[in-house]
Structure 1
Amino acid sequence: MNFSGKYQVQTQENYEAFMKAVGMPDDIIQKGKDIKGVSEIVQNGKHFKFIITAGSKVIQNEFTLGEECEMEFMTGEKIKAVVQQEGDNKLVTTFKGIKSVTEFNGDTVTSVSLHSQLGGPSTWGWVGRWVVGCQGRHEEQ
């Protein structure tokens, strides 16, 4: 499966509690909680480029499956991460005690992030849909 495409967030769960727990300032959390961000994915073999746009904030990260890379975290901090592919439709990212599983099914993407070291609400999940009209998303031949 080729993961290339543009996905827009439809719903989120535990956004505020999770962002607060990972160190996001309250004013930024309040600004971002109702934004329906867009994630654009460009895949070339095992190399990926993710462009995440939430309001005026744009984060761009590139990585190769299975290799450690440096990514920009939501707080603006640079972190070391590794992304693995599981099965045909999942990307699993591990960084800073967080495991994020992103699953692609048809035109729907579901992402759940779990922080292993947090007390209280330690998960954040969102569901997005493929933006109609986006070119590039297809099954590999």
Structure 2
Amino acid sequence: MAFAGKYEFEGDENYDAFVQKIGLPSEKIEMGRNCKIVTEVVQNGNDFTWTQHFPGGRTTTNTFTVGKEADMETFGGKKFQATVKLEDGKLVAEFPNYRHTAEISGGKLVEISTSSGVVYKRTSKKIA
């Protein structure tokens, strides 16, 4: 379960259908389309700092410990509390209206978010 590193957006699938399903406002939908997000993961055992750097200088950081409740923020900017779990080598979090998983597969960060049967997949390549 080694997630530590810096990852740059490589591609995604079903972005539009997913963000419409979770009710993201149209201006945020446009901002996020093909956005070259850089995800930086700092890991110390079960403690994580997960930061997403967006073009223009905006960042979102979630700090959590696997198995403990933590304050989190969605990519739409909503704050909530969740407990991140580890299931079959994947980090799993239940966001307010979607389920999010993250795993390292083939040296890439693969994130999958699911809401009411709509699946969004984002793949990022390791850059550091």
With normalisation by structure 2, the TM-score equals: 0.89
Identity %: 33
Q: 1:61, 1:97 → 2: CA distance?
A: 17
Match of 2:84 in 1: 83
Residue identity opposite 1:114 in structure 2: T
Tell me the distance in 1 between the aligned counterparts of 2:80 and 2:43: 21
Distance in 2 (alpha carbons) for counterparts of 1:52 and 1:106: 21
> 1:59 touches 1:72 (CA, 8 Å); kept in 2?
yes
Which segments of 5 or more consecutive residues in structure 1 lack a partner in the other structure?
135-141
Give the conservation status (yes or no) of the 8 Å contact 1:32–1:55.
Answer: no
SS at match of 1:29: helix
Segments of 4+ moved more than 3 angstroms:
none
Structure-2 separation of matches of 1:23 and 1:75:
9
Report SS of the residue matched to 1:19: helix
The answer for the alignment partner of 2:67 in structure 1 is: 66
Task: Find the aligned partners of 2:71 and 2:111 in 1 and give their Cα distance.
Answer: 20
Q: TM-score scaled by structure 1?
A: 0.82
- 2:27 is paired with a residue whose SS is helix
Kindly report the root-mean-square deviation, in angstroms, between the aligned alpha carbons of the 2 structures. 1.6
One-letter amino acid of the counterpart of residue 113, structure 2: S
Unaligned runs of 5+ in 2: none
What is the CA–CA distance in structure 2 between the aligned matches of 1:34 and 1:99, rounded to whole Å?
21
- Offset from partner CA, 1:73-99 (integer Å, 9 cap, x none): 111110122211123x32111122421
Distance in 1, matches of 2:111 and 2:20, equals: 18
Distance (whole Å) between structure 2 residues aligned to residue 7 and residue 54 of structure 1: 12
